[in-house]
Amino acid sequence: MKKLAIPALLSLILAACSSTGPTDTAAQVEDRSSGTGVATVTADSAAGSGIAALTDPNNILSKRSVFFDFDSYVIQPEAKPLIEAHARFLVQNPQMKMLIQGNTDERGSREYNLALGQKRADVVKQALLLLGAREAQIESVSLGEEKPRCDAPTEACFAENRRGDMLYSGEF
């Protein structure tokens, strides 16, 4: 009973965190009397924090990225231990939710890359589901080429940017 209570409490705290975060989509309308006929709006975004085990650099769970080859959405063998660790965490913490963000390098069409990033996020999700995580726990989305971790137009950067990132409740 006590075992169950801790994650429940945790999820309450996380829920509280996310609800106090600036997630409100209500637009801040800035009046602009410039005669351009265009009003300026500032978009807000959420920023939450995770839990200790997920951020401890000595814990494999602090690693969140699965990398891909060019124009590919096949998971490399070296990513298996990482995916297994996160699947175990999701199984043991059924209240935890995960958002998987797929990314691509900057070459080609933004919308096509958004679709390619989705495929990468989807294969990571599928792998986690096969290892016992539940469908309701995981959402897969794509950031396409929009959020490069590395900015230079080099092959090393392109490789760094072709990845899926696993984020937990409160981190997105």
Q: Which residues bind another protein (CB under 8 A)?
A: 23, 25, 27, 29-30, 32, 34-46, 99, 101, 107-112, 114-116, 118-119, 122, 139-144, 146-147, 153, 167, 172
Of 38 and 156, nearer to another protein (C-beta) is 38
Q: How far apart are the first and last CA of the chain?
A: 29
Q: How far is the CB of 156 from another protein (least distance, A)?
A: 17
Measured from the CB of residue 105, what is the shortest distance to another protein in angstroms? 12
56 versus 146: smaller Cβ distance to another protein: 146
Q: What kind and span of H or E run contains 92?
A: helix 80-92
With respect to another protein, which residue has the nearer C-beta, 12 or 152?
152
Residues 6+ apart with CB under 8 A from 36: none
Give 36 or 58: the residue with its C-beta nearer to another protein. Answer: 36
Q: How far is the CB of 99 from another protein (least distance, A)?
A: 7
Minimum CB–partner distance for residue 126 and another protein (Å): 11
What is the number of other CB atoms lying within 10 angstroms of the CB of residue 170? 23
Judged by beta carbon, residue 20 or residue 25, the one nearer another protein is 25
Instruction: Report, in Å, the least distance between residue 5 CB and another protein.
Output: 30
Phi, psi at 103, each rounded to 5°: -130, 155
Tokens 């996160």 -> residue: 86
Pick the closest to residue 92 from 133, 128, 145 (CA basis). 133
- Distance, in Å, from the CA atom of 168 to the CA atom of 172, rounded to the nearest integer, reads 7
